């Protein structure tokens, strides 16, 4: 007795030739990648249908065209080198990447492999082109980081690891930027769908609070407002994943929205695994760069600007005003009697007091062991004199060092510039300070300048 089953169970080798021909055609024309058969003169013999979905170009318009018509000019020489000699040496091995012109004028990256094929009469080079979303995206991330990109610019390419444009998905990355606060990059979503907007019962606030991912495939846990907004943008399920941010106590959030009536958003798990790595890398890199930049321009002990920051500001020379050179009095006995840790604590307290005595637009720098400089643009002579007295009064207040109370004072040299504060102004303030230290500690001395000589003399006696 012979048993027969459904046609689908017939081994491929036994299938009717016309079915096999249809299967082969479907493998070529219904695939995600497209294939191009290229002649030895670099013109196109055949190109499969998926080229239209991926580039907007039509096969009929590309047959007989040269590869130079659609390969990026910067990639063309390399492409021709890959194509040259295949008839003699065979198809080049491995995978490479080329940019191909899209119908809208953009350039789209493709991973390319090759094989030598034949129609029974003539040989061709078959080039198989697969969209390289995540490879291109990760390469772009590294290039931007090396170019010194900020967080937003470096994070933007990560959106493309999800091939969101091919899947009609939407992606957002939200984080707390130390300079501008909560911000995001996205594929065109409003803030209310990215995690930037502060809404107490939103999925993103839940993730920030719990530290756990959020997944809703049918919007069943959404507020009515969020569900309505999501539907208005054609969005369905949502997946939010937290990622550690080295520069913040809040995690960064990667959000994946799928289209309405689309697949589950956690189907993007491979893209998410890549995104997690690169988002954490970018934020950690950015945090380290920020710390290094701050260390290069700030005094480690007090947090004030350092000499480099001061001289950078002096190079600008943008405003008239005053420069005050301050040297602490009676500081060495504090170190000798209580130790260097106590001395460091005193310096930190004095730094805060001097900052509190100045305006937010003034620059306060620590330039030496117990030396401080105040760059005060825009001050009048009278205001500069008043600032010096405020600093003297602030520094003179008693300081607590462990169980002891200590007292220090300050001697100040002032130079005034009626054109632009510069290194010359700093030199004048330094000279005034040296004269004050030699004659009477704890005083304020003015350098020669725009103030009348009799007024300088009166101020120096004060």
* pLDDT band at residue 79 using 50, 70 and 90 as cut-offs: confident
Q: Is the pLDDT of residue 228 over 70?
A: yes
Q: What one-character-per-residue DSSP string does 35-64 give?
A: EEEE-TTSBEEEE-THHHHHHS--HHHHTT
What pLDDT, on a 0 to 100 scale, did the predictor assign at position 223?
94
Question: Rounded distance, CA 31 to CA 128, Å?
Answer: 11
Is the per-residue pLDDT at 5 higher than 50? no
* Interatomic CA distance for residues 141 and 378, integer angstroms: 43
pTM of the model: 0.65
The token duo for 351 is: 């730094």
Could you tell me whether strands 409-417 and 444-446 are parallel, antiparallel, or unpaired per DSSP bridges?
Answer: parallel
Cβ contact 388:326 at 8 Å = no
Summarize pLDDT for 264-296 with one digit per residue, the tens.
999 999 889 999 999 999 999 998 988 888 888
E strand or H helix that includes residue 327: strand 321-329
Q: Give Cα separations from 83 to 51, 64, 91, 131, 270 (angstroms).
A: 20, 16, 8, 20, 33
pLDDT tens readout for residues 132-156: 867 778 888 999 999 989 999 999 9
Burial (0-12, 13-18, 19+ Cβ within 10 Å), 411: buried
pLDDT tens, residue by residue, 364-389 = 999 989 999 999 999 999 999 999 99
Residue 76 DSSP code: H
CA distances from 189 to 259, 390, 452 (A): 13, 52, 64
406-427 pLDDT, tens digit each: 999 999 999 999 889 999 999 9
Per CATH, 23-131 and 135-295 having the same topology is answered yes
pLDDT recorded at residue 462: 53
CATH homologous superfamily for 23-131? PAS domain (3.30.450.20)
Fold of 307-461: Alpha-Beta Plaits (3.30.70)
CATH class of 135-295: alpha beta
Which pLDDT band holds residue 349 (cuts at 50, 70, 90)?
very high
163-200 pLDDT per residue, tens:
888 789 999 999 998 888 899 999 999 999 999 988 88
The pLDDT of residue 371 is 96
- Map out the domains of the chain as residue ranges: 23-131, 135-295, 307-461
Percentage of the chain exceeding pLDDT 90: 65
């Amino acid at each position: 007795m012979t048993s027969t089953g459904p046609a689908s169970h017939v081994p491929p080798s036994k299938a009717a030739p016309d079915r096999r021909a249809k299967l082969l055609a479907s493998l070529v024309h219904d695939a995600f990648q497209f294939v191009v058969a290229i002649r030895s003169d670099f013109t196109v013999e055949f190109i499969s249908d998926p080229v239209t979905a991926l580039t907007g170009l039509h096969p009929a318009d590309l047959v007989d065209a040269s590869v130079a018509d659609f390969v990026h000019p910067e990639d063309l020489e390399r492409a021709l080198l890959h194509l040259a000699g295949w008839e003699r040496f065979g198809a080049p091995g491995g995978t490479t990447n080329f940019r191909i012109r899209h119908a809208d004028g953009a350039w789209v990256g493709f991973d390319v492999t090759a094989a030598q094929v034949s129609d029974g009469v003539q040989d061709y080079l078959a080039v198989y082109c697969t969209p390289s979303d995540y490879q291109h995206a990760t390469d772009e991330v590294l290039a931007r980081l090396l170019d010194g990109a900020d967080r937003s610019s470096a994070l933007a390419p990560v959106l493309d690891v999800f091939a969101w444009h091919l899947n009609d998905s939407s992606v957002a990355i939200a984080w707390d930027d130390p300079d501008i606060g909560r911000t995001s990059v996205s594929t065109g979503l409003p803030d209310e769908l990215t995690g930037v907007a502060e809404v107490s019962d939103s999925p993103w606030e839940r993730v920030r609070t719990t530290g756990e991912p959020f997944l809703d495939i049918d919007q069943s846990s959404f507020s009515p407002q969020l569900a309505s907004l999501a539907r208005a943008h054609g969005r369905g399920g949502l997946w939010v994943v937290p990622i550690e941010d080295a520069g913040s106590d809040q995690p960064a959030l990667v959000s994946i929205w799928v289209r309405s009536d689309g697949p589950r958003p956690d189907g993007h798990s491979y893209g998410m695994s890549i995104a997690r790595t690169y988002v954490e890398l970018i934020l950690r890199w950015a945090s380290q760069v920020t710390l290094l930049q701050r260390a290069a321009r700030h005094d480690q002990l007090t947090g004030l600007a350092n000499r480099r920051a001061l001289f950078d500001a002096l190079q600008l020379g943008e405003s008239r005003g005053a420069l005050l050179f301050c040297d602490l009095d009676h500081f060495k006995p504090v170190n000798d009697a209580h130790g260097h840790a106590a001395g460091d604590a005193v310096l930190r307290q004095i730094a805060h007091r001097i900052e509190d005595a100045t305006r937010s637009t003034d620059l306060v720098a620590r330039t030496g062991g117990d030396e401080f400089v105040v760059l005060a643009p825009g001050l009048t002579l009278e205001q500069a004199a008043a600032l010096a007295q405020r600093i003297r009064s602030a520094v003179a207040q008693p300081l607590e060092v462990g169980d002891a109370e200590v007292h220090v004072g300050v001697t100040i040299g002032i130079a005034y510039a009626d054109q632009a504060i510069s290194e010359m102004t700093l030199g004048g303030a330094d000279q005034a300070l040296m004269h004050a230290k030699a004659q009477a500690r704890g005083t304020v001395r003015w350098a020669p300048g725009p103030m009348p000589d009799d007024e300088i003399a009166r101020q120096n006696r004060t």
